[in-house]
């Protein structure tokens, strides 16, 4: 087993080995960007450690049946698991491999530069979980980082602490809440030379507040970057024109303190000299050079980036880059003119929007229970523990922080109006005070202020308005965000997974039938699906019939009665199970029929995991039994998830179907013979493999012959390379995650110009 991989050996496909952060660092290192050198201790090394030390079973037992809503028990269990890991000795072969790699790194650094003068190198030990590439923002930043680590023994200790941080209370909570098995997430430890930052900050290659892709936003402070993300100080903000790299504005904020490393490696807060406190933190030359690097990284990845950087002795270093997941969600809003109003507070726009409500000042986590739904949360700054309260808030105001602080990031993800860096919000505002927050302009008004809406503000590129032949749809599982998804401009919903709604009900579908309560199951589905269908009005909403594997959702009532299969991934699920238990399918079709009769005729259904025409015929018969005529009265489609479905596509079209939709996860797995949950072979999983692409091209060609619309709803639909390929093949629609919609729409529009010779749609 390989314990150590250097950055030069990694790329963006190395997530199963080095986690999300490690894979990105390797990708940028090999792109020739100024990345501080380093290496990763593989995720498989962590796996070997917990298995050989015999603590994996102990960890699983501690987490078994844990009630994550019991905060005290959750915290206690997290501490027990972490203590178990840090107190377990690392085997000598792993320990020696880490120490040897650290020695090589230090030797290389001393030879290459004068960045570190001491005999032993200061390094950062960062956690990089293999689940960090998931679309849910909650997974990001849950594990620990240890700075200024020096010496072989200390590095080994920090690595073990990194591994333990996989089981913080917050990480356990989010994995369990999102139904992500704990043992499916591994962790890599990154060992990287520490830059002794004189200045540092964050750069966005799209303006995160206005969603303008023609602007680069750079935040800068003196000292280490922890004070930027933590909102400890208010950073300088520079707005740069992406095309010309002209500095459009430079907003200078007073910085009185900064975090700096001393000679012993301790991070100490120091006062900034008085003459520097109101000066521009970095010169124009550095700002423009950062913008150049930002453009290069964005061009390489094909989507806007959130980049951490540092400067030491005039040299720029790129510390990390990740996709801006909120691009599009805050697209340009309507301009608003206030009829009247008294401005009482100013700050920086973190998430656009206008909201009126009553102030609730929160000075510490202990006061979070004071927040009621619709309150305006006013605080010095927020931390991850505040998220449940933030979800209740109608708007958020903070004294401190910039565009990359916790409050700003979470607000953008939630679509909640937010103003940061007001400096005195908690002092000027009073509990219960009625105010109006105009986060779009970064101002707060006394009382409730009426606004007059004007036409939409002009933007450099309004991607949502691009007209394409290929319909761009969204993948949507949560009814709670249906309104936000509909506002995105998506051409419909290409996939609704009913399993998420089922999990929220707490009862396994089979258990409803066993208890003789199919109507309760129908009611549950109607509520969730109906909410989504109403939000999208006349646009199509395609619902996949339940596809619950026997090893999933065992924690639901009745789930313990599920059979235990040797390989549930290719076992009893999809349409084969639904036909064995027709009462479940009948209940699902009944929910659709009732919604259809209530006027929601934009709903379609699709059958999962089809391998025979007979399965489609039997499902149609059940639909007719509940009072709906498939194809004629309602869109009735088939998921193309198996090689068998690809080979019988002509027979499926002749049988009569309304559409087909590619499920690329299963199709890739079954075509390549790869269990996507097996970490050892996960790097071989590739939706762009010629065999998979060949199957998809064949299906599209046959469907066009029979005038059957084609679509994709697998995760690969969010990949730009896949979108380009499918447009060339003539696919009718592409479904993507909500955070990828604009990027997919743009690449589809660009590709169609080439395919259709500039024709407008």
* 406 counts as catalytic: yes
**Number of Cβ within a 10 Å radius of residue 63:** 20
CA 734 – CA 745 distance, rounded (Å): 9
- Position 684 scores a pLDDT of 78
- Position 413 scores a pLDDT of 61
3-state secondary structure of 693: helix
pLDDT digits (tens, 9 = 90+) for 73-98: 888 999 999 999 999 999 999 999 99
* Contact of 181 with 122, CB cutoff 8 Å: no
pTM score, whole prediction: 0.50
CA 726 – CA 732 distance, rounded (Å): 9
Contacts of 295 (CB under 8 A, 6+ apart): 205, 216, 242
* 646 counts as catalytic: no
Closest CA to 154 of 95, 109, 110, 104: 95
Place of tokens 């963006």: 12
Pairing of the two strands 636-640 and 659-662 = parallel
**CA dist 265 to 195, 196, 253, 287, 696, Å?**
12, 10, 28, 28, 55
Instruction: Look up the CATH superfamily of 4-193.
Output: ATP-grasp fold, A domain (3.30.1490.20)
pLDDT(402) > 90: no
Q: Which of 162, 418, 653, 713 is catalytic?
A: 713
- Position 524 scores a pLDDT of 93
| Secondary structure in 3-state letters for 481-522 | HHHHHHCCCCCCEEEEEHHHHHHHHCECHHHHHHCCCHHHHH
Q: How much of the chain, in percent, has pLDDT values that exceed 90?
A: 55
Report the half-sphere exposure of 620 (CA within 13 A, side-chain side): 20
pLDDT digits (tens, 9 = 90+) for 507-553: 899 999 999 999 999 999 999 999 999 999 889 999 999 998 887 66
344-456: what CATH class? alpha beta
CATH number of 472-755: 3.20.20.60
199-323: what CATH class? alpha beta
pLDDT digits (tens, 9 = 90+) for 573-593: 999 999 999 999 999 999 999
Place of tokens 């453009």: 295
* Residue 555 binned pLDDT confidence (cut-offs 50, 70, 90): low
In what helix (H) or strand (E) does residue 727 lie, and over which residues does it extend? Answer: helix 720-729
pLDDT digits (tens, 9 = 90+) for 22-60: 998 999 998 889 999 999 999 999 999 999 999 999 999
Cα-atom radius of gyration of the chain, to the nearest Å?
Answer: 27
CA 286 – CA 314 distance, rounded (Å): 8
CA 633 – CA 636 distance, rounded (Å): 9
Provide the residue ranges of all domains of the chain, joining segments of one domain with +: 4-193, 199-323, 344-456, 472-755
pLDDT(252) > 70: yes
**Number of Cβ within a 10 Å radius of residue 530:** 20
Strands (E), 153-246: 187-193, 199-204, 215-222, 236-241
Q: Which of 40, 162, 405, 406 is catalytic?
A: 406
Closest CA to 95 of 164, 162, 153, 9: 153
State whether the Cα torsion 22-23-24-26 is positive or negative. positive
């Amino acid at each position: 087993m390989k314990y150590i991989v250097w950055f030069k050996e990694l790329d963006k496909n190395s997530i199963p080995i080095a986690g999300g952060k490690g894979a990105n660092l390797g990708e940028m290192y090999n792109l020739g960007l100024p990345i501080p050198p380093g290496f990763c201790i593989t995720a498989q090394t962590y796996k070997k450690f917990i298995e050989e030390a015999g603590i994996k079973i102990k960890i699983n037992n501690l987490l078994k049946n844990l009630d994550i809503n019991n905060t005290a028990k959750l915290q206690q269990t997290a501490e027990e698991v972490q203590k178990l890991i840090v107190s377990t000795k690392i085997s000598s072969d792993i320990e020696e491999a880490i120490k040897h790699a650290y020695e090589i790194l230090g030797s290389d650094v001393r030879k290459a530069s004068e960045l570190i003068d001491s005999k032993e190198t200061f390094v950062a030990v960062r956690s990089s979980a293999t689940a960090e590439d998931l679309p849910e923002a909650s997974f990001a930043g849950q594990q620990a980082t240890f700075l200024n680590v020096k010496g072989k023994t200390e590095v080994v200790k920090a690595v073990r602490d990194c591994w333990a941080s996989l089981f913080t209370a917050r990480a356990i909570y989010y994995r369990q809440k999102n139904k992500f098995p704990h043992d499916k997430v591994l962790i890599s430890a990154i060992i990287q030379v520490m830059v002794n930052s004189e200045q540092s900050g964050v750069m966005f290659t799209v303006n995160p507040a206005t969603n303008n892709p023609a602007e680069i936003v750079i935040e800068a402070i003196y000292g280490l970057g922890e004070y930027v993300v933590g909102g400890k100080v208010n950073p300088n903000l520079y707005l740069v024109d992406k095309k010309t790299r002209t500095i459009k504005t430079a907003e200078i904020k007073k910085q009185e303190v900064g975090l700096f490393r001393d000679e012993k490696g301790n991070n100490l807060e120091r006062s900034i000299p008085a003459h520097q406190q109101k000066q521009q933190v970095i010169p124009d030359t550095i700002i423009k050079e950062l913008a150049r690097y930002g453009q290069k990284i964005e061009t390489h990845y094909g989507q806007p980036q959130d980049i951490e950087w540092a400067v030491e002795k005039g040299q720029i270093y790129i510390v990390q880059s990740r996709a801006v997941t909120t691009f599009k969600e805050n697209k340009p809003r309507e301009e608003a003119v206030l009829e009247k109003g008294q401005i009482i507070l100013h700050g920086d726009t973190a998430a656009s929007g206008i909201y009126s409500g009553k102030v609730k000042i929160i000075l510490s986590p202990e006061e979070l229970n004071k927040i009621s739904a619709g309150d305006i949360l006013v605080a010095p700054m927020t931390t991850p523990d505040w998220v449940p309260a933030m979800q209740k808030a109608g708007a958020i105001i903070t004294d401190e922080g910039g565009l990359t602080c916790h409050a700003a990031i979470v607000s953008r993800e939630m679509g909640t109006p937010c103003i940061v860096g007001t400096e005195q919000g908690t002092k000027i505002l009073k509990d219960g005070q009625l105010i109006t927050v105009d986060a779009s302009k970064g101002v707060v008004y006394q009382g409730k202020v009426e606004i007059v809406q004007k036409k939409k503000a002009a933007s450099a590129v309004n991607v949502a308005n691009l007209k394409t032949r290929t319909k761009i749809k969204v993948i949507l599982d949560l009814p709670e965000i249906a309104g936000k998804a509909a506002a995105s401009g998506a051409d419909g919903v290409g996939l609704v997974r009913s399993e998420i709604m089922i999990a929220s009900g707490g009862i396994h579908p089979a258990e409803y039938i066993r208890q003789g309560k199919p109507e309760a199951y129908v009611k549950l589905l109607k509520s969730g699906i109906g909410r989504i269908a109403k939000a999208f009005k006349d646009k199509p909403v395609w619902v996949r019939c339940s596809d619950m594997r026997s090893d999933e959702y065992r924690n639901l009532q009745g789930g313990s009665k599920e059979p235990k299969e040797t390989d549930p991934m290719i076992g009893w699920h999809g349409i084969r199970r639904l036909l064995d238990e027709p009462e479940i399918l009948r209940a699902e079709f009944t929910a659709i029929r009732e919604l259809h009769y209530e006027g929601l005729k934009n709903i379609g259904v699709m059958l999962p995991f089809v391998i025979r025409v007979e399965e489609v015929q039997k499902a149609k018969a059940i639909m007719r039994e509940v009072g709906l005529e498939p194809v004629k009265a309602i869109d009735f489609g088939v998921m193309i998830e198996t090689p068998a479905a690809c080979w019988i596509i002509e027979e499926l079209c002749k049988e009569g179907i309304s559409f087909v939709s590619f499920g690329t996860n299963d199709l890739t797995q079954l075509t390549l013979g790869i269990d996507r949950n097996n970490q050892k072979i996960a790097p071989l999983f590739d939706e762009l493999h010629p065999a998979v692409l060949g199957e998809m091209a064949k299906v599209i060609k046959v469907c066009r012959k029979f005038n059957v619309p084609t679509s994709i709803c697998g995760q690969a639909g969010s990949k730009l390379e896949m979108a380009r390929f499918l447009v060339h093949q003539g696919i009718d629609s592409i479904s993507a995650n909500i955070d990828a919609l604009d990027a997919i729409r743009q690449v589809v529009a660009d590709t169609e110009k080439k395919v259709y010779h500039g024709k407008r749609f």
